[in-house]
Structures are given as structure tokens and as C-alpha cells.
Amino acid sequence: MGKLTRDAVIDQALRIGDAEGLQAVTIRRLAQDLGVTPMALYWHFKNKEQLTVGMGDHLMRGFATQEDTTRPWNERLRGLVADLVGILRRHTCAASVLEEVDQMEVPSFLRVWDTALGLINQAGFTYEESCLIARYLLKGAIALAGGEARDRHRPSDPEAAEARRVKRLNLQSLPRDSYPHIVEMATPLVDGCSAEVYDTFGIDLLIGGVEVMAARRTASA
Amino acid sequence: MGKLTRDAVIDQALRIGDAEGLQAVTIRRLAQDLGVTPMALYWHFKNKEQLTVGMGDHLMRGFATQEDTTRPWNERLRGLVADLVGILRRHTCAASVLEEVDQMEVPSFLRVWDTALGLINQAGFTYEESCLIARYLLKGAIALAGGEARDRHRPSDPEAAEARRVKRLNLQSLPRDSYPHIVEMATPLVDGCSAEVYDTFGIDLLIGGVEVMAARRTASA
DNA sequence: ACCTGAACACCGTTCAAGT
DNA sequence: ACCTGAACACCGTTCAAGT
């Protein structure tokens, strides 16, 4: 039989995570799927946290923004965020993984942090500010990706569709005088936005904040 | 002895959560602290999720931004975010609670959502955009509050200080040529930023993004 | 080097039963 | 109405032992 390898474990973990959510990824479930004892996994991973770190590392391994140093910092920063969002979009459980683990423990994600820090610092911010902005940007991208775009509701999942229907009805039946806007926007709230809005708008929003702060900085200097 | 009441449970849950982190809040631990059987809690809460929702609701109960409708939308939006950050700052576990539960299930947090949606929509955004922005803003505030400000490192916690020291050393011992900026900024990265930077900068950053998008919108219209 | 068996110390939750 | 006892089905993890 195929030997149990670190990568095989991570592959299966991602498969489960994408299909059933990260909370379905347990040591015991994983072992069962791989036809092995739970304790076998402890040979390849120190503990479950390291498994999750491994998942994150695997996900971010493909991340490589081309460093075209001729372009201005804000365009390059936008490219970085767009690439990150792209990965998060392709794997359903990617956002949860990065929320669960300490991002600084994921080697391949450190490359994202480093290039982000460099670009932001280059824009004229102090070290302290750069750290704050980088965290805001990366967490922001994850937060945006966490709220699924409409296209990701695959019709093949009637269970989730039903859950959304219930949720929408709950919001719509709130008292109109206390929660007028929630009642009004119940549908876009639970359905999320289209991928186009997501791309052109969500990323602009994140980068726009950084740009305007940079502009204020040089204006007052 | 004092009867077991819903509020008593939530109070104790918040006490544990603030002192030892949200993961230390378990049904069984809670029951033990309250001198009662674990199953007793199920009379007051349907399940653990509802307990966490209760914690979130309790935390956000004190939230009431004065609705000074004479001020422009962006100032009012800034006030809302500042108030939210204020609450998250006062309770160590507040951010974790709001990350864990479905925010839309927390009644008192729905008031935050509603006023945010109203103000954003008033700025001229579509429904879809408003939902996206509101999520970005609220999640962004939580993300910022999640990374602790320097002042919150109480000297009374030498264990956490030691953990930060180890973390900083780990970052500093990364290869300088692959991670130049992380090595350079290791200290502000693990220590977080000062409360002043946090307030004046972090919130400006969030609001700035919304303002600039609103400006672009009316400019192209 | 790589995996198993048995065991430990936890979880959340249900359900019938007590008062 | 409010709480308990006993039990179920899960967790992650350790440690000695097998090959």
C-alpha cells in the first residue's frame, strides 16, 4: 500500500477541509480516511496545530508575486492582495486555516508578509505603522474572502442553500423600525456579492485606505 | 446558595475568557466554577454556541453610538468604529467571541450592523457594496483589536512576555536575504503598536478606505 | 524509521429521572 | 421550573511496544 507521507496527510486534510469545512478535519477522521491509526500521524506531525500549519504552508506554496520593481508600490501591493485573494478563492477552507493558525508560523505565508511589509514601508510609513497596515491588509483580504462570493454557492449544495434561505427569512422578519437597513438589505447580506463586485471593489477598498494614508503622510511632511 | 441564572453563567464565562482565553471557556469548566453539574447549563442555553452568542450579546449590550444626524456620514461612521474598538479593547476575549460566532446571530451586534449599513448606504453606495463595506469595516475593526496594543501587555503576565520574546527571536533568526523586512521589523511585529498609533491610525485607515471609494463614486457619476 | 494498542484526560450533548 | 446521574460519541495526546 502507499506509504503514509506528510504530503499525503496534508492533501487529504485539505480535501476534507474544502468539502466539509475545517472543523471536520480531525486527527481521527484523517487517520480513518488514510487507513491508518490516529497515532501514526504523530510521527509526521508534532501535534494538530503543526498539521494545520502544514495545510497553510501547502496552500501558500504556490504564492509568488512577480516582483516587477519598476512599477509603483501601490500597484505592486494591489497585485499581492489580488494574488492572495485568488488563492483563498480557489480553496474553500484556506481562509479558515489562516484564521486558525498563527500566520507567522506558516513559512510560505511569511513571504507574503515580507513583501507586503517592504512595499508598505517603501511608501513612507514608519515601522510601527507598516506592521499595523500589513496586518490590516492581510487580515482584510482574508475577511473579504471569508464572506463567500455568490458564484461560490454551488447549486450542488442544496443544504447550504436552505440554510441561507432560513437566515434571510430571519433577518427579514426583524422589527423594521429597529433594524430598517438589515431588513432592506437582507438578500445581499446573506447571499454575498458577485465575484465582479468582489474583485473590482473589495480590493480597491483595501488598497484605497493605504493609498490615502500614504498621501496624507507626504502631504503633511 | 445563589440560584444559577443565565447572566451568572455569562458573567463567569466572560471572566474565564478574559483571563485565560476563549478556548478555556468550556461547559464543564463553567459548571465546576459555578458549583453545578454540566447539564444544568443546558437548561439556560440550548447549546454551547448559544452560550457564546450570549457572551457576545452581553458584550455589545453597552454599545450605543449617539446618533447625531447633523454630522456627516463619515464622522458618524468613524464614531461607530471607535466605539466598537473601545469595547473590544476593554474585554480581552471580545474579539475572539465575535470571530467565533455568526455575528448576525448576536442581537445587540445587529444594531451595530444596522447603523453601519445605514451610514454607508447614505454615502451613495449600492446595497451590494454597502454589505461588502460593512463587513470589511466590522471585521477590520475586530482584526485590528485582535492584534493587541502594546499597553495591553500587562507586566503581570510574565508567561506571555516570554512567549513574545521567543517569537521575536524566531523572526530575527530568519534568513536575512529571504525575509529582510520581517527581520528588520521583528520587534514592532510581535509587540504590536502603541495605543496612540492604534487609535489615530488604525481607525483612520479603515475609514479612509471607505471615504476614498465614496469620493471616486461621486466623481465618476 | 515508521506504525500500533491501550490508555488518559478531556470535550459537548441526550435522556430519563429526581425535587 | 430547575437540576442531577449515567451514558454516548466524540476529541487530542502520551507512552511503551512492535516491526
Reported as a single tens digit per residue, the pLDDT across A72-107 is 999 999 999 999 999 999 999 999 999 999 999 999
**Average pLDDT of the segment spanning A188-192:** 91
Judge whether B139 is closer than 8 Å to chain A, CB to CB.
yes
- Choosing among A114, A164, A187, which should be mutated to test the B contact, i.e. which has the most B CBs within 10 A? A114
Tell me which of A33-47, A168-182, B75-89, B191-205 is least confident: B191-205
pLDDT at A150 over 70: no
pLDDT digits (tens, 9 = 90+) for A44-73: 999 999 999 999 999 999 888 777 889 999
> Which nucleotide is closest to B43, CA to C1'?
D2
**Distance (Å) from the alpha carbon of B63 to chain A's nearest alpha carbon:** 15
- Do B131 and B56 contact (CB within 8 A), yes or no? no
Contacts of B51 by beta carbon, 8 Å cutoff, 6+ apart:
B9, B10, B13, B27, B41, B45
- Do B13 and B30 contact (CB within 8 A), yes or no? yes
Tell me which residue has cell 434571510: A168
Task: Give the distance, in angstroms, between residue A105 CA and nucleotide C8 C1'.
Answer: 29
- Choosing among B67, B197, B205, B220, which should be mutated to test the A contact, i.e. which has the most A CBs within 10 A? B205
- Do B56 and B97 contact (CB within 8 A), yes or no? yes
pLDDT at A129 over 90: yes
pLDDT at B42 over 90: yes
- Do A85 and A201 contact (CB within 8 A), yes or no? no
> Which nucleotide is closest to A50, CA to C1'?
D12
Judge whether A4 is closer than 8 Å to chain B, CB to CB.
no
The pLDDT assigned to A1 comes to 55
Task: Give the distance, in angstroms, between residue B43 CA and nucleotide D3 C1'.
Answer: 8
Cβ contact (<8 Å) for A189 and B133? no
